[in-house]
Amino acid sequence: MMIRAEHPADIESIYQVNAIAFGREHEAKLVNRLRGLPHTLSLVAAVGDAIVGHIFFSPVTLEDVNAKNLMVLGLGPVAVRPDHQHQGIGSQLIRQGVEHCRQRGSRTVVVLGDPQFYTRFGFTPAEESALRCEYTVPEGAFRVLELEPGALQNCRGLVRYCPEFAHCE
């Protein structure tokens, strides 16, 4: 299994991985809408020629005027084909994805998802920082990861995802 940047030939497989993992097409369509936007990152987990997992990162904006030039990326969606789950592939996609974000100059990553799952990667509840999600979500579901010590000290305000998140069917 290797994790690499998506290739144009992977697009249909990425759609299928998201659709089958989530059991609906919402996330697969969302990825298609986000693909190609500036500062996005799309990685796949490949076993031979087969795409078995996928992760996407897209930039979020902060309402705080002082935080405008900080690159904060939102993780999601992440998906692994059901027949390849529980083998560590999702974790590797997240760890390597976060490392790519760091190398691209992002100092903070945010995620909306299961608290237990994301805690293992170091994500902490946004309630402990000065970041708030634009969506109303259960307590603990919006989490943040600072990619260098102190990064969150300069990160505050309402986090807004790309408009494509709201416009997706």
Q: Which residues contribute to the site for ligand COA (CB under 6 A)?
A: 21-22, 76-80, 85-91, 113-114, 117
- For 45, phi then psi, to 5°, come to -105, 120
Least distance (Å) from ligand COA to the CB of residue 114?
A: 3
**Of 148, 165, 166, 167, the residue nearest 71 (C-alpha):** 148
By C-beta, is 67 or 75 nearer to ligand COA? 75
Least distance (Å) from ligand COA to the CB of residue 21?
A: 4
Say which residue the tokens 């998802």 belong to.
Answer: 113
Token digits for 81? 């084909």
Least distance (Å) from ligand COA to the CB of residue 153?
A: 27
Distances (CA, A) of 152 to 22, 42, 48, 117: 31, 24, 39, 21
Give the residue nearest to ligand COA (CB).
90
By C-beta, is 67 or 97 nearer to ligand COA? 97
By C-beta, is 86 or 167 nearer to ligand COA? 86
Token digits for 49? 């020629």
Least distance (Å) from ligand COA to the CB of residue 127?
A: 19
Separation between Cα atoms, residue 53 and residue 46, nearest integer Å: 7
By C-beta, is 77 or 129 nearer to ligand COA? 77
